[in-house]
Structure 1
């Protein structure tokens, strides 16, 4: 009888221990699950906010660049005389309010640089560049993809405007920007290691990115353009980067009244490591 009682007590104790362990494990598991989801929710909120910040900054740059290009067109006057100090002063004034990296150019229909605010710019024929060929073909306002400067080999992007007099194409007004300007914004957002910011055109061409990439990049076949943008103008998802292969949590936003999309991403592994 004593042996049976002891055995029964042992089984009851073992059952209690197992049940306690299972309850404890369930509680810990639920806490881990909730913590994991909370960490991912915070990361999603972070990239969404960052993508919105890039959208706001990009929208401001586009609108300010459009106004500056209109002012450059007006500064030329009806006769478009080159080498006028007054005109050059007006062109310089049109860049006020834009990032310090902004540089202005007026290029004639035959490829001559009539005016520039860049003192180091040689007179290079840019008629093969898309920022010239687009307006020359009839586009009133054009946003370039990421380019490599022929002056100093730095990554740049441009906005350009078709110039006409009496409905005749006479040249292109151009404003170029250093693509590195996203670096200052990324630093201010403090997204952590492995994070990126980017601007893309709706046709999939990269306009600017930080950290920088080597030359143009066509992402038209990427999941963002194939699956996400057709369904929503904003969102976030987990993806392996086509640039460096890193797994990231990415947020995207379309910029109203433009053909641009802004992106912010954080390293997924780095984010979960912190959790």
Structure 2
């Protein structure tokens, strides 16, 4: 009989060991998957923010150039301006924007493509630019603003640029020439090189016809200017699905990347960032290797842990008796009591130390509660405490948020993974809800109560004391009381003039 019982126990231990190992592996796999998703999300969000920021920068500069170009068109077709002395006319035609650092030249070309007026020289430099795409495009009616292909400037020693152009039209709409403003590609080089990209990532500016205007880092050392992307799958997907990220292999360096892209306002330009998928997840792969090592070590130790299980089961009855004796619930409000809160606080502090997430604490006190007891009686005071407890529970929504009675007329709300702004928002909601509640059904003479709330937020590290967070919240509560009650004060707030505060 004893042998059978022992065999049964041994078999049960084996089953429990297998279940424990399976649970550990499953938990680690889930955690790694969540970590993978979080790491990838961080990389993609960072790329999206960078694309939007750089696109806004380029758009602002192009808008300035376009406005200057429109002003040049207006001035170059104004008979009064054209009648001015040549040196004064040049100053009127080309305002201060023509001297911007990366603005190459502003030109007025006649109907044959010859330079008529020149921002960079007086008298104007001699060149015929009729063959340029920006001139040819403006020979068509209502061409609007045209953004050219990149080209080597004939009047600035081959400086690579793009041009914005507008048509000059006579009173009858006849073609009378072209106004041109060139932007040096060096602008994009300087802009892109100032961005901190992850290893293997790239940033590119592409014309809507598939011509690469500038790429950083480049494979030729000059930005791969003019590279034709029309036949690439990446450019095809950009054209077919604007603003939708995708994963594709680059035709330039054959690296597989995740692309985030956006069009720059109404201009025929697309800004794209490509994240190297292997480099972006390198840190996660290291974490994966460490996790596998930890799992293997855990499996080795699991036998020792299971052997301790029988002792743990033997002590479980004693622990249950102890928990029952201590009773973790406040009888009046049905909320967790001070001891239960202390246990929960230590648990959340350890979790914060592991994850690095912020932990917020709101300590609140009923204003003038002694007056409530003295004027309306302790039964009414008890009712106020009970009803306020219900309001507190209704004011927090997340499963991890924790409400407890701290003692007397004090309550505490613990908010895991909550930053200061979020904690203040919840605390203000609690304050308003408490102010709006009917404090007593037994005594209609008690029409309203208010609460003062002290807030504290901390991201814990191993070894930090949970008591420090409570102390900070208590100091903030003391300050809220001193500033007139019925308010929320966060630890670290600097209130210089209490009379300037809005009283709620």
Q: Report the TM-score range of the alignment, normalised by the length of the smaller protein.
A: 0.7 to 0.9
List aligned pairs for 1:124-135, cutoff 5 A: 124-135=127-138
User: What secondary structure sits across from 2:62 in the alignment?
Assistant: helix
The residue number in structure 2 matching 1:100 is 101
The residue number in structure 1 matching 2:198 is 192
Given that 1:46 and 1:191 are in contact with CA atoms closer than 8 Å, whether structure 2 keeps it comes out as no
CA-CA distance at 1:225 after TM superposition: 5.1
CA-CA distance at 1:143 after TM superposition: 0.6
Given that 2:212 and 2:225 are in contact with CA atoms closer than 8 Å, whether structure 1 keeps it comes out as no
Given that 1:135 and 1:172 are in contact with CA atoms closer than 8 Å, whether structure 2 keeps it comes out as yes
The residue number in structure 2 matching 1:62 is 62
Change (3 A) 1:83 1:45: farther
User: What secondary structure sits across from 1:243 in the alignment?
Assistant: coil
Rg: which structure is higher?
2
Residue by residue over 1:175-208, the C-alpha shift from the partner in whole angstroms, topping out at 9 and shown as x without a partner, is 1112232344334442323333333333333344
* Structure ranking higher in helix proportion: 2
User: What secondary structure sits across from 1:239 in the alignment?
Assistant: strand
Query: Normalized against structure 2, the TM-score is what?
Result: 0.48
Q: Which of the residues 209, 213, 216 maps onto 2:223? A: 213
The residue number in structure 2 matching 1:28 is 28
Aligned mates of 2:100, 2:46 — CA distance in 1: 25
Q: Are 1:163 and 2:168 matched, yes or no?
A: yes
Given that 1:69 and 1:161 are in contact with CA atoms closer than 8 Å, whether structure 2 keeps it comes out as yes
CA-CA distance at 1:74 after TM superposition: 2.8
Query: Normalized against structure 1, the TM-score is what?
Result: 0.82
After superposition, the CA RMSD in angstroms is 3.1
The count of residues paired between Structure 1 and Structure 2 equals 272
CA-CA distance at 1:217 after TM superposition: 3.0
The residue number in structure 2 matching 1:265 is 274
Bigger relative CO (Cα 8 Å, ≥ 6 apart): 1
Change (3 A) 1:127 1:23: same
User: What secondary structure sits across from 2:146 in the alignment?
Assistant: strand
Comparing 40-49 with 188-197, which one deviates more in the overlay?
188-197
User: What secondary structure sits across from 2:245 in the alignment?
Assistant: strand
Q: Which of the residues 118, 136, 139 maps onto 2:139? A: 136
Aligned mates of 2:250, 2:84 — CA distance in 1: 47
User: What secondary structure sits across from 1:245 in the alignment?
Assistant: coil
Q: Are 1:145 and 2:174 matched, yes or no?
A: no
Aligned mates of 2:158, 2:85 — CA distance in 1: 27
Comparing 218-227 with 67-76, which one deviates more in the overlay?
218-227
User: What secondary structure sits across from 1:257 in the alignment?
Assistant: coil
* Structure ranking higher in strand proportion: 1
Change (3 A) 1:114 1:18: same
Any gaps of 5 or more consecutive residues in structure 2?
285-504
Given that 1:160 and 1:172 are in contact with CA atoms closer than 8 Å, whether structure 2 keeps it comes out as yes
Change (3 A) 1:224 1:23: same
The residue number in structure 2 matching 1:123 is 126
Residue by residue over 1:24-55, the C-alpha shift from the partner in whole angstroms, topping out at 9 and shown as x without a partner, is 22122111111111111111111211221233
Aligned mates of 1:152, 1:6 — CA distance in 2: 94
User: What secondary structure sits across from 1:204 in the alignment?
Assistant: coil
The residue number in structure 1 matching 2:474 is none
CA-CA distance at 1:130 after TM superposition: 0.6
Given that 1:146 and 1:215 are in contact with CA atoms closer than 8 Å, whether structure 2 keeps it comes out as yes
Aligned mates of 2:233, 2:153 — CA distance in 1: 29
